[in-house]
Amino acid sequence: MINTKKWNPQQILKHYYGYDQFRKGQREIIESLLKKNDTLAIMPTGSGKSLCFQIPALLFEGKSIVISPLISLMKDQVDNLKSMDINATYINSSLTTEEIQERTNAFISGDCKILYIAPERLNTFYFLEGLSTVGIEQVAVDEAHCVSQWGHDFRPSYKLIKNFVSNLKGNPVISAFTATATQAVRQDIKQLLGLNQPQTFDMGLKRSNIYIEVIKGKNKRQFLEGLIDKRTGESGIIYCSTRKTVDELFLYLKKKKIRIGKYHAGMGAERRKEMQEAFILEDIELMVATNAFGMGIDKPNIRYIVHYNMPKTLESYYQEIGRAGRDGEPSQAYLLYSDVDKSIQRFLIEKSELNDERLTIANSKLQDMVNFCHTHECLWKSISLYFGETGEKDCQNCRNCLDENLIEKDITIETQKILSCVYRMQQSYGASTVAKVLKGSKSSKILLNGFERLSTYGIMKQLREKDIRELINFLSAEGYLDVSNGLYPILKLNKKSWEVLKSGKKVMKKTSLIKADHKPNPKLYDELKALRKTISLEENVPPYIVFHDYTLREMSLIKPLTDEELLRIKGIGEKKLKKYGERFLQLIKKHK
């Protein structure tokens, strides 16, 4: 390896990495470390954080240790460094005892500049004893959020780092890197890693090349087949919440002659390695996997990510969609949501044997994820706000920003009905039970509790129960309802709830217009106009008071068959639905 002590960061960048310019934030972070400032960097996936600790490692006279929990990332980065004639090695559980001793000796006594090590290995006697004579100038902590119980991937072994660093010879500079850190996690990183007045660099979260969309109410397998058919020859990852779902979906898509692999912790190590290599080498173009796959996978041309099930945290979601488009090219991320996903994740949390504090945190994070799936705000802005970033503008690269079929609708009356029902049920039940009462269900649970005697019983019977639940989820996402933690979440009123109930605060919701599958029916349009004329004569009002022409045209084009579909027609609210809906639906059904 060339002696680089008198080089500057720009020379290292060009000579070893082949780049003329640093990416956003890289130079500033490198300069901070070279000045021996402890440094915390929050950088989005794919923004080149490894350069930020590798270049100082080459410029420092002493050696550098990189602490990482990602076995595959260690190997990839060490292989890449060696390909550039930079002497580096790694120590993790994939090695034998003899290999670990051999690599430890090489780092302690040889000219090896950079050692990657798993945090679990920090307190081994042989390793600690050997380091007592070595000048360590930098300790870089990757995936630094793992030190915090508020992080989505807490690892107790990260608590070893602070003590480990304090016992090193000299006073090494500490650098900490993560893509996901709320304000609480940032404070934990600084405190629990023992960072001394750290310089903090926040490169932002938004990946402008990734389009994101949450899809509800569609057949998941049909959506997948259509997407894969359109993206033939492109690399993608499908994430599932359980091993069983991975296995089932893998077999289903395999039968469709799709070049697909699978990956989860229930598979043998060799089989997982084969699948991973096949994906990287593009022998297969699609991987269906649990979240066990992807950490440290540096494949730049993944064009799309599909979450077949909702992940349990926004941190996981953000990291996983970040595996798309690392080359900067346009990429897509789709989340296929269903209420069943929420139940599965709550079940997995409850059986995970977390202590009470961790259990509360996990349920709170899950509710944040559910809220994200139901918000009608800009999705990228919602992610930024969750991580404490303010002032972000709408991204214009998510479905909520770009869908021309979304129109704003006043749902204040529906909101008041839901909030009143929650109040009359003494704020002691969840969304499913509240929806049943509003629908007017005659299930044994409803009748046994005497809910049929409530004034709110059946006041939304024109809607499907699932649509009422969707409204409740939306109100929770927008902060009009609080949801308790636990396996059986309870709906609670809050300050915003009372503003709607007492002050009539307006609630608006973006609603997707139904896309027509057929051409307008001129005969139906004429008959709808005739019916409108009849009603106008009955009520002695002009026809446009009943419905405008554009409302009738949309009816003839879309041909709604239910109250819920009729409500999605421009110009039809609950009052007109109740007053005229049945007569118009009967007429439309004759033309189906």
Convert the pLDDT of each residue in 311-357 to its tens digit: 999 988 998 998 898 877 889 999 999 888 888 888 888 887 778 78
Q: How many whole angstroms separate alpha carbon 90 and alpha carbon 105? A: 12
**Region at 443 (left for phi over 0; alpha for psi -120 to 50; beta for the rest):** beta
Collect all residues with Cβ–Cβ distance below 8 Å to 105 and sequence separation of at least 6.
130
Say which residue, 535 or 75, is predicted with more confidence.
535
Q: Is the separation of the CB atoms in 524 and 584 below 8 Å?
A: no
pLDDT in tens, 363-376: 888 999 999 999 98
The pLDDT of residue 333 is 96
Which residue(s) pair with 289 in the sheet? Answer: 239, 263
45: helix, coil or strand? coil
The pLDDT of residue 296 is 55
Q: Per residue in 397-410, is it b (16+ CB within 10 Å) or e — as a string?
A: bbbbbeeeebeebe
pLDDT in tens, 202-230: 887 778 899 999 998 788 999 999 999 98
Long-range CB contact pairs, 538-543, < 8 A, 24+:
none
Which residue type, as a one-letter code, is found at position 396?
A: Q
- Average pLDDT in the 239-261 region? 94
Residue 248 sits at φ, ψ, to 5 deg, of -65, -45
Q: Is the separation of the CB atoms in 325 and 352 below 8 Å?
A: no
408: helix, coil or strand? strand
Question: Which single residue is written with the structure tokens 């005497």?
Answer: 450
Q: Is the separation of the CB atoms in 193 and 176 below 8 Å?
A: yes
Tokens of 519: 């051409």
Q: How many whole angstroms separate alpha carbon 248 and alpha carbon 448? A: 39
Which residue(s) pair with 408 in the sheet? Answer: 510
In the chain, list all ranges with CATH 1.10.10.10. 406-512
Q: How many whole angstroms separate alpha carbon 77 and alpha carbon 55? A: 13
Q: Is the separation of the CB atoms in 579 and 547 below 8 Å?
A: no
Tokens of 362: 């996990």
Write down the architecture of domain 406-512 according to CATH: Orthogonal Bundle (1.10)
Percent of the chain residues past pLDDT 90, beyond the cut: 45
Cβ neighbourhood burial of 273 (10 Å; 0-12, 13-18, 19+): middle
pLDDT in tens, 118-165: 998 887 767 777 787 788 999 999 989 889 877 667 788 898 899 899
Q: List Cα–Cα distances, 167 to 136, 161, 176, 198, 352, in angstroms.
A: 11, 10, 18, 20, 34
Percent of the chain residues past pLDDT 70, beyond the cut: 95
Q: How many whole angstroms separate alpha carbon 255 and alpha carbon 253? A: 5
Out of 54-58, 330-334, 356-360, least confident range: 356-360
- Average pLDDT in the 395-413 region? 84
CATH 3.40.50.300 holds for 210-398 = yes
Q: How far is CA 306 from the centre of its chain?
A: 11
pLDDT band at 423 (very low <50, low <70, confident <90, very high): very high
Q: List Cα–Cα distances, 297 to 23, 293, 301, 320, in angstroms.
A: 20, 8, 11, 11
Residue-by-residue DSSP string for 487-539: SS--EE--HHHHHHHHH----EEEEEPPPPSS---HHHHHHHHHHHHHHHHHH
Cα–Cα nearest to 494, from 505, 483, 480: 480
Q: What is the DSSP letter of 14?
A: I
Average pLDDT, the chain: 88
The pLDDT of residue 485 is 77
Q: In this structure, how many other beta carbons lie within 10 angstroms of the beta carbon of residue 168?
A: 17
pLDDT band at 518 (very low <50, low <70, confident <90, very high): very low
Q: Kindly report the CATH class assigned to 522-589.
A: mainly alpha
- Average pLDDT in the 179-203 region? 90
Out of 155-159, 359-363, 426-430, 566-570, least confident range: 566-570
Tokens of 104: 């430890």
The pLDDT of residue 460 is 95
Q: In this structure, how many other beta carbons lie within 10 angstroms of the beta carbon of residue 169?
A: 12
pLDDT in tens, 4-46: 667 899 989 888 887 888 988 999 999 999 999 999 999 887 7
Q: What is the DSSP letter of 17?
A: I
Task: Identify the top-confidence range among 358-372, 489-503, 521-535.
Answer: 489-503
Q: Is the separation of the CB atoms in 182 and 168 below 8 Å?
A: no
Residue 289 sits at φ, ψ, to 5 deg, of -155, 160
The pLDDT of residue 513 is 59
Taking each helix axis as running N to C, give the angle between helix 574-589 and helix 522-539, from 0 to 180 degrees, rounded to the nearest 10: 130
The pLDDT of residue 558 is 86
Cα–Cα nearest to 194, from 236, 263, 139: 139
What topology is assigned to 9-202 in CATH? Rossmann fold (3.40.50)
- Average pLDDT in the 248-260 region? 93
pTM of the model: 0.69
In the chain, list all ranges with CATH 1.10.150.80. 522-589
Collect all residues with Cβ–Cβ distance below 8 Å to 219 and sequence separation of at least 6.
none
| HSE-CB of 24 using CA atoms within 13 angstroms | 13
Q: How far is CA 165 from the centre of its chain?
A: 33
pLDDT in tens, 78-104: 888 888 888 999 998 888 888 988 898
Say which residue, 295 or 184, is predicted with more confidence.
184
The pLDDT of residue 519 is 54
Q: How many whole angstroms separate alpha carbon 588 and alpha carbon 556? A: 8
Residue 199 sits at φ, ψ, to 5 deg, of -80, 130
In the chain, list all ranges with CATH 3.40.50.300. 9-202, 210-398
The pLDDT of residue 137 is 94
Q: How many whole angstroms separate alpha carbon 99 and alpha carbon 95? A: 6
The pLDDT of residue 271 is 92
pLDDT band at 394 (very low <50, low <70, confident <90, very high): confident
Collect all residues with Cβ–Cβ distance below 8 Å to 203 and sequence separation of at least 6.
24, 25, 41, 42, 43, 44, 47
Residue-by-residue DSSP string for 301-347: TEEEEEESS--S-HHHHHHHHTTS-TTSS-EEEEEEE-HHHHHHHHH
